[in-house]
Homo-oligomer: A and B are copies of this chain.
Amino acid sequence: MTAPVAITPAILKAVPLFSSFSDEQTSLLASCVQHRRYSKGAAILRAGEETEALYIIMSGRVKVLIPDEEGREVILTMLGPQDFFGEMGLLDELPSSATVETLEACDTLRIPRTAFLTCLEGNAELAMLVLRNLVKRLRDADRKIESLALIDVYGRVARLIIDMAENIDGQWVVKRAPAKQEIARMIGASREMVSRVVKDLQEKNLIHTDKRKIIVLDHQSMAQRGSV
């Protein structure tokens, strides 16, 4: 964490969450927003602790996870620039149910509880953005529950790859896949199992891997395996 940097209204206007704000609202907000920088591997939030602020990621990536006693963890999601977190604790006053850990150095904006709640009440557009964001996360969570309850590890790996892939001129590619260890934590499996499944998917010519890149050769069959 380095010394705080001044937050200008211009910076805030560039944040999707605040794009609907008037000039007054923005400058009012600017006075209480803080800049915070975290180094790689730092915990911004810890499960069980009170949440005192909303965090918006300006640069870098984080993982949201639930840890258990023996050091195992399940990764709920990964977030990057423009994403935000911490609003759940602000809305229901309960301690955070997850830990947020940086995957690389991160710049964040930190909006204290009251400032955020005031903004929320005064700005229906903000409320709608937050609402829609929660809906998206709830859908993702439900889908994860479906995967865990109804699909085997093979299917879960296939589904994750499909979900992460983006279509680059007709070809489905995961540009930078997480380490297999991380994949394992994302789908509730052991890293050894993920290793074996990926090997198998390659041997069956469903995917091709090259370092951290995964090319989906047979999207159809992959989707098949990853469906309930």
CB pair A88–B188 under 8 Å, yes or no, is no
* Residue A124, interface by CB 8 Å: yes
CB pair B228–A150 under 8 Å, yes or no, is no
10 closest A-B pairs (Cβ-Cβ)? A149-B188, A141-B141, A68-B228, A74-B149, A148-B148, A134-B134, A66-B146, A127-B127, A91-B135, A88-B135
A145 neighbours in B (Cβ, 8 Å):
66, 74, 76, 141, 144-145, 148, 188
Give, as a whole number of angstroms, the nearest-CB distance from A217 to chain B. 25
Contact pick for A139, options B74, B97, B121, CB 8 Å: B97
Could you give 8 example pairs across A and B, Cβ below 8 Å? A68-B150, A91-B128, A94-B139, A121-B128, A124-B127, A130-B131, A134-B135, A150-B188
A91 neighbours in B (Cβ, 8 Å):
128, 131-132, 135
A136 neighbours in B (Cβ, 8 Å):
92
Give, as a whole number of angstroms, the nearest-CB distance from A121 to chain B. 6
Given A124-B121, A124-B124, are A138 and B148 also a contact pair (CB < 8 Å)? no
